[in-house]
A and B are shown apart, each in its own frame.
Chain A
Amino acid sequence: MTWLRTTFRVVGWPTLLLVSSFAFIAIFGSVISPYDPAAQNLSHSMQSFSAEHWLGADNLGRDTLSRLIAGAQTTLIGVVTVLLLAGTIGMMLGTLAGYFGGWLDEIVMRFCDFGFSVPSLFVALAFVGVFGPSYTNMILALSIAWVPIYARLTRGVVAAAVSQPYIESLRVLGASPARIIFRHLVPVALGQVLVYASADAGLLALAIANLSFLGLGVQPPQAEWGQMLVSAMPYIQEAPRLVILPGIALTLLVIGFNLLGERIALAKNPRAMSRRKLSLRRAIFKKEVEA
């Protein structure tokens, strides 16, 4: 179980707890959810915190806790799908561009430049504008907007690795491009992409909430935090919890992903030792030498 211990040491328990509890909620959400998130019960409309509805109910009498849980599912499924799609396509493009160079590299990089010069939210807006707002279209739109990030990241890593003697040795040995790409370059790029993606997930969660808030993403009655925020806006005076609770959920998720990304990045570039650790090392060395 060394990998578990390493993960624990690198990420630290607060971050791990935060991220894994969101993951747990997303996976087992339908089991732990007390109510059907879409089930309306107008007799419970605008109910506050109670034994029946722990976090209250909204204007249509839907259970807020259940809707928050469903919103976590919606957000995380969206985040993971976008990262998988954008990561895969971006890595494919970036690897090809970095390995073969030349005109292929030119085309991919110009595409990336275009993607970077237009804010990703605009790309998503345009896509949704053409194909109509829906959960699926939002995921596709965000994937397209996120591809250039991963293409450029991968291209940089691969282009640097290609000129390394160990890749050149493989070329001299007569290895096929497929072998060099899939066995040697992709694993190198994957490490970098995963590190980046862990920090990027928070940004994506915000983007999903943004689009849904603007009515371009998740459509009612499907539960989503940004969408919950919008529908609660008319009741902000009467029941501020309806706005505050999804806001807290979103904030926690973003903080969790950002911490995760930061901790992983830090593990790759260690800082100087803490004073406690240093004195510990000194003591160990003293014991070893004077034993």
Chain B
Amino acid sequence: MIRTTHPAPPPLEVDGFSVTLHTPNVSVRPVDRVTYSVEAGEVLAVVGESGSGKTILNMAPLDLLPVGVDADMAGSVRFEGRDLLKMTASELEAVRGSGIGVVFQDPLSALNPVRKVGRQLTEGIERNLRLTPAQSESRAAELLALVGLPDPKSRMQQYPHELSGGQRQRVGIAMGISGEPRLLIADEPTTALDVTVQAQIVELLKDLQKRMGMAIVIITHDFGVVSGLADKVAVMYAGRLSELGSVRDVLVGPAHPYTRGLLQSVPSLTVPMDTKFVGLPGQPPNLAHRIDGCAFAPRCAEVRADCRGHRPGLLSVPRSSPGHLAACPVVVNQNI
């Protein structure tokens, strides 16, 4: 075996990954054969609306689904070459501690309300980096300074409810990066925040990514966050990947009709003032039913008869960069 000729495996390779969730009354498939990868130091944005499966796609392999949800997973999700789906619970916990950091949408739910911020932060550091309490305390203060919280020493003596939303999310990010991860998964980290604070958090994530050189997967529904932060974009619809490409390819030259519709639905500050609001007709499909053909067909303006026949695979978009893929044969064939 000649290991040296192989480059190091990328931080994240998702290959044919599906998730099926079972509840007593219904089974759904929120993630359906998704394939993509994240290179070292790259920021991937997974974009989708509610119910697109973007959160389950990223949380299920880490065993971070809500308690009481039974998930069947198929395919593979490799972190630096090791399949997360084949790991035991304790191996997975070790990876979550140091290899992969996680930032949650609601920082309050990730923090214990009755324990001081500093204590919660040092606890994880002690466990994951095997430092003494004194060392981890000073490390925690460093982390809080790193995420831009002024006066970290006194912040550590506070309880989560004494912090503002933006401060709490900064603490959440500090917890996410406390194990010095090579991959940070951030689930809607700015959704609960005001635009002014959102801008601060985006700047912070950008800065941390450069300083720590880690790869980031950011899960969001907001293209505004994507454009300022991401290198690569994956657009999800009904549990499937509908478009994948560099941030410029996808946001400036979107190929899939869903991506186009979604981008048009975001009003900008530059369109004429008397224009009407543009959106997509209808609503996403019910994932409890089997979806034949393209999941977006019922809402699509470009729909053809054969769109409903079988599910379209990801195709290379002509006259675009090589890595730009879209799951729409209609658009791809038009452009050739």
Closest to A277 in B: B24
B5-43 with Cβ < 8 A to chain A: 20, 22-24, 27, 29
In whole Å, how far is B107's beta carbon from the nearest beta carbon of chain A?
Answer: 24
Residues 269-291 of chain A, each 1 if its beta carbon lies under 8 Å from chain B, else 0? 01111000110011011001101
Closest to B26 in A: A281
Q: Is the CB of A289 within 8 A of B290?
A: yes
Residues of A within 8 A of B22 (CB): 273, 278, 281-282, 285
In whole Å, how far is A289's beta carbon from the nearest beta carbon of chain B?
Answer: 6
Task: From B27, B68, B290, give the contact of A271 (CB < 8 A).
Answer: B68
A173 to B275 Cα, complex, angstroms: 32
Q: Is the CB of B68 within 8 A of A272?
A: yes
Q: Does B72 have its Cβ within 8 Å of any Cβ on chain A?
A: yes
Q: Is the CB of B290 within 8 A of A288?
A: yes
Closest to B24 in A: A273
Q: Does B207 have its Cβ within 8 Å of any Cβ on chain A?
A: no
A40 to B2 Cα, complex, angstroms: 101
Residues of A within 8 A of B23 (CB): 273, 281
Given A272-B68, A272-B70, also A281-B24 (CB < 8 A): yes
Number of interface residues of A (CB under 8 A): 13
Closest to A279 in B: B22
Task: From A273, A282, A288, A291, give the contact of B72 (CB < 8 A).
Answer: A282
A291 to B289 Cα, complex, angstroms: 12
A97 to B243 Cα, complex, angstroms: 56
With a 10 A CB-CB cut-off, give which of B20, B27, B68 has the most chain A CB atoms: B27
The size class of the interface chain B forms with chain A is 10 to 19
Residues 242-283 of chain A, each 1 if its beta carbon lies under 8 Å from chain B, else 0? 000000000000000000000000000011110001100110
Given A273-B22, A289-B290, also A281-B27 (CB < 8 A): yes
Residues of B within 8 A of A281 (CB): 22-24, 27
With a 10 A CB-CB cut-off, give which of B20, B24, B68 has the most chain A CB atoms: B24
With a 10 A CB-CB cut-off, give which of A277, A284, A289 has the most chain B CB atoms: A289
Residues of B within 8 A of A278 (CB): 22, 70
A282 to B290 Cα, complex, angstroms: 14
A281 to B72 Cα, complex, angstroms: 11
B275-310 with Cβ < 8 A to chain A: 290
A291 to B27 Cα, complex, angstroms: 15
A278 to B24 Cα, complex, angstroms: 8
Q: Is the CB of B72 within 8 A of A270?
A: no
Residues 130-164 of chain B, each 1 if its beta carbon lies under 8 Å from chain A, else 0? 00000000000000000000000000000000000
Q: Is the CB of A282 within 8 A of B27?
A: yes
Closest to B289 in A: A288
Residues of A within 8 A of B27 (CB): 281-282, 284-285, 288
In whole Å, how far is A118's beta carbon from the nearest beta carbon of chain B?
Answer: 31
In whole Å, how far is A172's beta carbon from the nearest beta carbon of chain B?
Answer: 25
Residues of B within 8 A of A272 (CB): 67-68, 70
In whole Å, how far is A197's beta carbon from the nearest beta carbon of chain B?
Answer: 27
Residues of B within 8 A of A273 (CB): 22-24, 70
Residues of A within 8 A of B20 (CB): 282, 285
Residues of B within 8 A of A285 (CB): 20, 22, 27
A282 to B72 Cα, complex, angstroms: 9
Q: Is the CB of A270 within 8 A of B290?
A: no
Closest to A275 in B: B70
In whole Å, how far is B67's beta carbon from the nearest beta carbon of chain A?
Answer: 8
Residues of B within 8 A of A291 (CB): 290
Residues of A within 8 A of B70 (CB): 272-273, 278
A281 to B20 Cα, complex, angstroms: 11
With a 10 A CB-CB cut-off, give which of B20, B22, B290 has the most chain A CB atoms: B22
In whole Å, how far is A209's beta carbon from the nearest beta carbon of chain B?
Answer: 39
A277 to B72 Cα, complex, angstroms: 14
A278 to B22 Cα, complex, angstroms: 7
In whole Å, how far is A262's beta carbon from the nearest beta carbon of chain B?
Answer: 18
A273 to B27 Cα, complex, angstroms: 12
A284 to B24 Cα, complex, angstroms: 12
Closest to B291 in A: A289
A282 to B29 Cα, complex, angstroms: 11
In whole Å, how far is A283's beta carbon from the nearest beta carbon of chain B?
Answer: 10
Closest to A281 in B: B22
Residues of B within 8 A of A271 (CB): 68
In whole Å, how far is B90's beta carbon from the nearest beta carbon of chain A?
Answer: 21
B55-70 with Cβ < 8 A to chain A: 67-68, 70
Residues of B within 8 A of A284 (CB): 27
A271 to B23 Cα, complex, angstroms: 10
Residues of B within 8 A of A282 (CB): 20, 22, 27, 72
A51-107 with Cβ < 8 A to chain B: none
Give 29 pairs: A residue, B residue, CB < 8 Å, sorted on A: A270-B24, A270-B68, A271-B68, A272-B67, A272-B68, A272-B70, A273-B22, A273-B23, A273-B24, A273-B70, A277-B24, A278-B22, A278-B70, A281-B22, A281-B23, A281-B24, A281-B27, A282-B20, A282-B22, A282-B27, A284-B27, A285-B20, A285-B22, A285-B27, A288-B27, A288-B290, A289-B29, A289-B290, A291-B290
Show the binding face of A for B, using Cβ within 8 Å: 270-273, 277-278, 281-282, 284-285, 288-289, 291
10 further A-B contacts with Cβ under 8 Å, apart from A270-B68, A288-B290, are: A271-B68, A273-B23, A278-B70, A281-B24, A281-B27, A282-B20, A282-B72, A284-B27, A289-B290, A291-B290
Would you list the 5 A-B pairs with minimal beta carbon distance, nearest first? A285-B27, A281-B22, A272-B68, A281-B27, A273-B24
